[in-house]
Structure 1
Amino acid sequence: MYFPYLRGKQFELIALRELCALFPQDLSKISPIIEPVKASSTLNSTLAELANRNANFNLIINPRVGDLEGQYEKIIQIITSSIPADYSNYQLAVIVDSKTEGSIAALIEFLNALDLNYKGISLIHKTELNSQNIELLNNQLNIVYNVIYFSKTSRRYYREFEANTLVSLDDYFEEQSRNADYLNQESDFSKEYRFYILDGFVGFSDFLTIGDNYSESGFLPRAVAIHLSYLENDQIKIKHFVSDSNEDVSDIGGKFSEAINKLVIWCNEKNLNTAAIIEFRDLQERGHFPGLGTLKKLSIMNHIELIINNI
């Protein structure tokens, strides 16, 4: 099963919501991890749509970025107002890091006091717990998934947990400091979709074509970059399509046109067709610039569809 890790920003959530409608028969293959960063109508409608489609998901109750950091009660309020009381096909997710480590008992008490009808708990391990805390969590909570962030833990840490709960997580996106630095580049992403079962995991997770780095900034870029996942020789790779007129921040629509023209020509040569690529072609044919957020949405949708089609 695939566990795409998304921050709850507007276009990440819209991508999930639209995928529910596009691939209702494939929702059993994914279980999104959502780290909510802002209370919004988009977050509410996305959670409601996931529940409406009987899609399993993981909602983080202790986000480490955004406006909802430390806002436990507000997140619970979002859950109760968005998800029907009788819906249980989801996990509350908890980030395990240095902040969590010293408050395990309080965390358990908080979770056990909740009057919510959920499936169980997903722990997102961004640091290593000691054996005593692991035992305490296992005894006091119904742990459905242990999501192990491999870049943050030792190679053997995952062996502390039951195999039927294990999900691997890592950041495979090779981020550049500027969009222009992606010009004429492509990069390897991962082969986890092929090997996670052989490696003893029930699922795998990544940060898609966004990466783990979180930013609130909304400044205009000098270059427009579109990141497109594709499969080549069993390797998921990322092709980067970047505008050429990158001297200043003027004419973002023109920069988009330069980038999307490159994307459409390349996809036609490769005969690639996902729902997102079809929409990219339509935008290019109409000469319509939908805004930078839509580019991120389509990149996310393409990545998830690629994995859905190959697991």
Structure 2
Amino acid sequence: MTDPNPGPAIARALLSKDLRTLRDESPAAAVAKAMHWSLSKLNRIENGKVTIQPVEVEALARHYGVADDGELRRLIQLSVASRQRMWWRDEHFDEDFTNYIAFQHDASHLYSYQATFVPALLQTPEYAFAVTSSVLRRPARDRQVRNVVDVRLKRQETVLERMRGEFPPQLSFAIDEAVLLRPVGGDDVMAAQLDHLAEMATRAHVRIVVLPLRLGVHPGLGGPFELLTFSEDADLDVVFIETPASDFLLTDTEDTATFRDIMDELLATDPAGDSLHRALTAAKAALRQ
């Protein structure tokens, strides 16, 4: 079911797409001149780089010949929704990461493949501190580590809140078995993390697939990624790739389609739905040794 009240990221994306469609073959320079805008402003609006005020949306829509009151209200409402001030706008993140958090807030299906550590949305606080401290090569009490973990926990809280709402998102995770066998933070922290994975898997709308080491090669070996899809429009998929040096947000439909296919193949490795139970049993046994 589609949420009739989209969040700011999907509202901006939908509005940008609609405005590009309305312009059709009209020269962008001519439209910008008619609106008394710079060409760069129109380009940024159509590319979803900036928001557009409701009064500007109405003026632009009327310039394009939109006369239907219902359609005008829909476009104006998208503008209003796109300008909501959310918590992540007050943080000092890279643009791609900020946009990813915004899209995650609106996604109808959240996918993640991880080969090195537990996906961010499934981490306990203790595990998050341990893995972030290692990745950043800083002590767990370091301010940068705390900031990263705080944001990660806010992302979890946002998703869990949506799962309790009227339009809960679907969550699908594919995790390499090695992730569960690596005792991040020590045995006690890892044992609690394994229990948390088991608890999360019991929730509606959550699916966790573990790729056994004996599986050998699989399409996820190209690297970890997160994929977001949206019930409002299949062309709005986004992929987020995180590295120690920089992050990347992919929005091109050909690029995102590749990752959607990879995710489908990874999830299909567990048709019986018992891979997590088997992997957790083995991981807990390894901790006791």
Q: What TM-score, normalized to structure 1? A: 0.27
Could you say which structure has the higher helix fraction?
A: 2
Which one has a bigger Cα radius of gyration?
2
